[in-house]
Chains A and B, each alone.
Chain A
Amino acid sequence: SQKIEQNSEALNIQEGKTATLTCNYTNYSPAYLQWYRQDPGRGPVFLLLIRENEKEKRKERLKVTFDTTLKQSLFHITASQPADSATYLCALLNRDDKIIFGKGTRLHILP
């Protein structure tokens, strides 16, 4: 069956350290992967998009990697800050043009 999985447990990271979130998928052939941030009571906010033929993408303190062999994307926040605390969602565009979201990982940056 098709699955897109993110760590369901909350991730606690000390301020200043690098937070790494994982997104694994099964039985999808995504054209691209996206990462979103969602704060409580708000809609998700787009962060980064990485295409199937790209290995890595960066934006300021954010970095995304995409390994189509491992069927995995990693999302890194360097020099993390308490303001980075939120739920992070990965989403993939499948070949049928549907965007499928993972359930998200809650990130807590501890001061």
Chain B
Amino acid sequence: KAGVTQTPRYLIKTRGQQVTLSCSPISGHRSVSWYQQTPGQGLQFLFEYFSETQRNKGNFPGRFSGRQFSNSRSEMNVSTLELGDSALYLCASSLILQGVPYEQYFGPGTRLTVT
């Protein structure tokens, strides 16, 4: 079974630009979560999508948004990029059992650098 894939793997953008990251989950997984990872803050939850609906959201500004398509693939968008958005963005897919996500399968991440 193919793992979670993320594209692109690396991205360099300048302040003020916007960026779109893509994630393809494991086949059969309908839950996709996004995380931001930085050395200082660790892994921070951005949002979770299930069946094309945002199920949960972390404490990030509205510049961070996402969506999920009918094939469970997901995208996240960051608008008006700031230097502090430089991070590793990780996507994870999981099964939902009894209404909750269980073990998460992570992709390799997209390394975003904002200059």
Mark A residues whose CB is within 8 Å of B.
31, 34, 36, 41-46, 49, 89, 91, 93, 96-104
B43-94 residues at the A interface, CB under 8 angstroms: 43-45, 48, 55-56, 58, 90, 92
Is there a chain A Cβ closer than 8 Å to B25's Cβ?
no
Is A43's CB under 8 angstroms from B108's CB? yes
Q: How far is it, in angstroms, between the C-alpha of A64 and the C-alpha of B104 when the chains are bound? A: 18
Interface size on B, residues (CB 8 A): 25
- Whether B108 lies near A103 (C-beta < 8 A) is no
CB distance from B26 to the nearest CB of A (A): 12
**Chain B residue nearest to A42 in the complex (CB):** B108
Contact among B55, B92, B105, B109 for A97, CB-based, below 8 A:
B55
Contact A46 B103, CB 8 Å, known A89-B43, A96-B56, A99-B33: yes
Q: Judge whether A101 and B103 touch: CB under 8 Å.
A: no
Task: Report the 4 A-B pairs with minimum CB-CB distance, sorted nearest first.
Answer: A43-B106, A103-B42, A101-B43, A46-B103
Assembly CA distance A101 to B109 (angstroms): 16
